[in-house]
Amino acid sequence: MRCEAEPDAAAQAVRATLQAAVERHQRGDYAGAERLYREVLARQPDHFDACHLLGVALLQTGRLEDGRALIARAIALKPTVGAAHSNLAMALMGLGRNAEALASLDQAIALQPQVAESHNNRGIALANLGRQSDALTSYDAALARNPAYPEAHNNRGTALLALGQPAEALAAFEAAVTARPDYPEAHGNRGLALNQLRRLPEAVAAFDRALGLKPDFAEAQQGRGVALAMLERPAEALASLDAAIGLQPTALAYSYRGNVLCALKRLDEALASHDRAVELDAQNHEAHHNRGFTLQAMSRPAEAVASYQAALNLHPDNPDILNNLGNSLQDLGDAGGALAAYDRAIALKPDHADAPMNKALVLLRLGRLEEGWPLYEWRKAKWPGVSRADLPQPTWTGVESLASKTLLLRREQGLGDTLQFCRYALACRDRGAQVILSVQPPLVRLLRQLEPQVRVISEGAAPGAFDLHAALMSLPLAFGTTLETIPAGPQLVAEPALTALWAKRLGPKTRPRIGLAWSGSAAHVNDRNRSLSLQQLLPLLSDDVAWISLQKELRDADAAALESQPRIRSFAGHLTDFAETAALIEQLDLVITVDTSVAHLAAAMGKPTWILLPLNPDFRWLAGRDDSPWYPSVRLFRQPRFGDWAAVIGDVASELAARFA
């Protein structure tokens, strides 16, 4: 009797040990559970449950290969348990063996097709293999079996985000948080979708909710920083990104941090942050791309090109990288390379607003106006306000007759652009239109001299009734302007009373008078390349010339330099509008200026105007010539190499010596 009872006692001991192991496992006591599972296996090496569950416990403690081997051994013992195949798949995914994991999940589903978790995990394996559309099908299968499955909704949203469908992804994340309101990952992913949809205040709130549930959630801090950066709240963005890096120092967190520092013009710190991003993950194309953008902002285009090329090696079909590569190639004077980059970007994304507009700028600079003007209309996609879709009247495109029509011409972009293109107001008048020209307030008094042919109003003033409207810088396209058909501009003159006032203010003329303007608006997109410091112009100064500053606004360093230069007279406080500046320019023999509104004003007055240009100048100054078809009195001095202002200053000094000898 006793001998016959021993097997039952042994079996009962194994069952009791297994039950104790399972209880410890469920409590999270993985070490205790492992010890007991191994006791069972010491007694019964072919015990399926002990082998399987020990493998699961090892997975849960990060011992993936050991766990995989045990679960595979369990499956060999009993191949018909779907859960074992599913758990083997989780081990394989953890080891990066996603194709094998997919095969295991297919086996699990074949054995137990109604288990939602297996379909969900199959979607994860497919997503890891880059098969996002197939992953969606698996997530949908999981949700068909369990409609309130929060992880499946969340994973479905992640796949939709990867497929570029943020609105659909947002709906999936909202279903996830409806099913589980305290699901921090779903709230964080909801923030990512809202970021992509540019619903930025809502995105910040979603990230805040995620962080409230999980304060050490690095990805949510990172997404919050990106949202705040897009909201132009850089100090807060920087704080969030620093917090993300403190929690989990990823390449993307450092890269986004570099972007914020770049926006704050803390360029050296920005570059250091991007360098750290590349160091952490040299295979991350965003890190290289963002580094290139900062190098571009630092006026280091050759290095920017190298970073963009590194990004393209990792992501060859990214239109944004190609567009920025084209911009840096433009800075280096490589028009052909820039056009090739823009063409590739456009081929990949035909609705990419920046690339066709930038291509237009290259074509216009090369004098290929017929090709450039149509593409230049892409600026309306970049700046929707230019087209003024809110106006009920139709846009004039050059086709409609202007006879007996009232045409509103709307300024856009800078003061210099208005001065250059206001000539088209007269051309429209010559076609029979009654023209209303809406301009920036500082130009109103000066341009009133176009009346009565053209009615000039300040932007924002009610124009009264009109039949058609057009953006001022769309008129070259409407007129089919080529290099040979650029219309003559009005020769602007100073008001006689102001001229007399400025003559008195300057006093008797004993020497040639030369006006200087060395910087434009600091907000201009190309200010880093087109503006100079006053210090750079000092080699031009000589005592046989009366030097007059035409700068209205002074940067701190320039203000200090000007104060220490008694040879330059400054009247910044009196230059309240362009009528005043015109009256001052009337007293001068020559204006030397960088590309800014002063250049356009002096040139429109017919004053001899020398314009100092970077290697990659604005399109209106064309390429490879020292004159301008837009302004007969202009002489152009160009950089021979990127950033080489010293050579330009030397050429100007030589010309000054010859002119005023």
How far apart (Å, rounded) are the C-alpha atoms in residues 199 and 203?
Answer: 6
Residue 488 lies in a domain: no
Q: How many helices (H) and strands (E) does the chain have?
A: 34, 10
Residue 520 lies in a domain: yes
Supply the CATH number for residue 527's domain. 3.40.50.2000
Residue 228 lies in a domain: yes
pLDDT band at 247, cuts 50/70/90?
very high
Q: Which of 478, 509, 537 is the last residue of a domain?
A: 478
Looking at the structure, tell me whether residues 273 and 295 fall in a common domain: no
Structure tokens at 91: 């081990």
Residue 607 lies in a domain: yes
Structure tokens at 488: 């003559």
pLDDT tens sequence across 104-160: 999 999 999 999 999 999 999 999 999 999 999 999 999 999 999 999 999 999 999
How far apart (Å, rounded) are the C-alpha atoms in residues 299 and 458?
Answer: 36
Question: With 60 as the cut, is the pLDDT of residue 509 above it?
Answer: yes
Domain count, the chain: 4
Token pair 């710190």: residue: 269
- For residue 318, which of 295, 296, 288 has the smallest C-alpha distance? 288
Q: Which of 277, 303, 328 is the last residue of a domain?
A: 277
Evaluate whether 232 touches 259 at the Cβ level (below 8 Å): no
Token pair 């191994």: residue: 38
pLDDT tens sequence across 173-210: 999 999 999 999 999 999 999 999 999 999 999 999 99
Helix, strand, coil percentages for the chain (3-state, nearest 5): 60, 5, 30
Question: With 70 as the cut, is the pLDDT of residue 11 above it?
Answer: yes
Looking at the structure, tell me whether residues 456 and 503 fall in a common domain: no
Looking at the structure, tell me whether residues 544 and 621 fall in a common domain: yes
Question: With 90 as the cut, is the pLDDT of residue 484 above it?
Answer: yes
What residue type is assigned to position 156 of the chain? R
Q: Which residues pair with 592 in a beta bridge?
A: 516, 610
Structure tokens at 149: 């499955």
Q: Which residues pair with 395 in a beta bridge?
A: 469
pLDDT tens sequence across 349-401: 999 989 999 999 999 999 999 999 999 999 998 888 888 888 999 999 999 99
- For residue 493, which of 578, 414, 576 has the smallest C-alpha distance? 578
pLDDT tens sequence across 530-582: 888 899 998 999 889 999 999 988 888 888 888 888 889 998 889 999 999 99
Looking at the structure, tell me whether residues 116 and 69 fall in a common domain: yes
How far apart (Å, rounded) are the C-alpha atoms in residues 360 and 581?
Answer: 32
Region 329-339: what's the mean pLDDT? 95
What domain range is 607 assigned to? 496-659
pLDDT for position 552: 86
Residue 416 lies in a domain: yes
Supply the CATH number for residue 296's domain. 1.25.40.10
Q: Which residues pair with 548 in a beta bridge?
A: 515, 569
pLDDT for position 6: 53
Q: Where are the alpha helices (DSSP H) in 315-422?
A: 319-331, 335-348, 354-365, 369-376, 379-382, 415-421
Evaluate whether 661 touches 512 at the Cβ level (below 8 Å): no
Looking at the structure, tell me whether residues 631 and 514 fall in a common domain: yes
Looking at the structure, tell me whether residues 540 and 631 fall in a common domain: yes
- For residue 600, which of 422, 457, 377 has the smallest C-alpha distance? 422
Question: With 70 as the cut, is the pLDDT of residue 51 above it?
Answer: yes
- For residue 628, which of 365, 362, 336 has the smallest C-alpha distance? 365
Rg (CA), the chain: 35
Evaluate whether 622 touches 628 at the Cβ level (below 8 Å): yes
Region 81-94: what's the mean pLDDT? 94
Looking at the structure, tell me whether residues 307 and 426 fall in a common domain: no
Looking at the structure, tell me whether residues 212 and 361 fall in a common domain: no
Looking at the structure, tell me whether residues 174 and 71 fall in a common domain: yes
Evaluate whether 377 touches 474 at the Cβ level (below 8 Å): yes
Say how many Å lie between the first and final Cα of the chain, rounded.
131
pLDDT for position 4: 46
Residues 6+ apart with CB under 8 A from 569: 506, 546, 547, 548, 549
pLDDT for position 3: 40
Residue 229 lies in a domain: yes
**DSSP-based three-state secondary structure for 410:** strand
Q: What are phi and psi of 330, to 5 degrees?
A: -60, -45
User: Average per-residue pLDDT in the chain?
Assistant: 94
Question: With 70 as the cut, is the pLDDT of residue 42 above it?
Answer: yes
Looking at the structure, tell me whether residues 218 and 265 fall in a common domain: yes
Q: Which of 277, 302, 323 is the last residue of a domain?
A: 277
pLDDT for position 217: 97
Evaluate whether 529 touches 614 at the Cβ level (below 8 Å): yes
Residue 27 lies in a domain: no
Q: Where are the alpha helices (DSSP H) in 112-213?
A: 116-128, 132-145, 150-162, 166-179, 184-196, 200-213
Residue 587 lies in a domain: yes
Looking at the structure, tell me whether residues 446 and 372 fall in a common domain: no
Looking at the structure, tell me whether residues 127 and 230 fall in a common domain: yes
Q: Which residues pair with 468 in a beta bridge?
A: 407
Structure tokens at 165: 């469908």
Burial (0-12, 13-18, 19+ Cβ within 10 Å), 336:
exposed
Supply the CATH number for residue 466's domain. 3.40.50.150
